[in-house]
Amino acid sequence: MKYYYRKKRGFIAFVTLFLLAIFALMGFAYWFSSRTSTDLLFIEAQRFKARNYAQAGIERARIYMCNVLQLTKNSDMRTNFNKKDFEKSFEDGGYRVTSIKPFSKGNVYYLDVPHKVNGKVIGHFDMWEVTSEGYTTKTKFIVEIKTIIRIYRDNIVY
């Protein structure tokens, strides 16, 4: 009986070390995988944040254009555009509207176009191409969004 005990004595230590090495390897793989996915998730969140900032710039320009074009009946936004009025910085990023220009197709500019309903002119509309950039400070992402905005100046009769 003593002989059998001596023969198996190192086997338990070997199996324990082997299992410990396997579990350590699995733990390292799990840590590396979660760290990588966390980094990728942070980068993707920063991209979304930059895009949302750029969209905020578009909305800022839209509100301003609605006020200027609808209330003042001024059809030329180019004279009123000041880039400093369309910049906003936050703690972790911001936006800036880089251009507001009339939408054109070839040589035709869509300014003061008659708006017709059932063949009757009820007002006019303008189409503007607005470009906005959103940026983040941590990852230095810059996202540019271009959109076309149609502003209606209808003569509503109740």
Are the CB atoms for 54 and 143 separated by under 8 Å? yes
Q: What is the average pLDDT score of the chain?
A: 85
Amino acid letter, 32: F
Give the model confidence (pLDDT) of 107-128 as tens digits. Answer: 888 888 888 888 888 888 889 9
What is the distance between the alpha carbons of residues 56 and 89, in angstroms, rounded to a whole number?
A: 11
pLDDT for res 50: 95
The answer to whether the Cα torsion of 35, 40, 43, 48 is positive or negative is: negative
pLDDT tens for the chain, 158 residues: list them: 555 566 666 788 888 899 999 999 999 999 999 998 988 999 999 999 999 999 999 999 988 888 776 666 655 555 566 778 889 999 999 999 998 888 988 888 888 888 888 888 888 888 999 999 999 998 899 999 999 998 887 766 55
- Cα–Cα distance, 87 to 82 (Å, whole number): 10
Contacts of 65 (CB under 8 A, 6+ apart): 77, 100, 128, 130, 149, 151
Say which DSSP state 139 is in: S
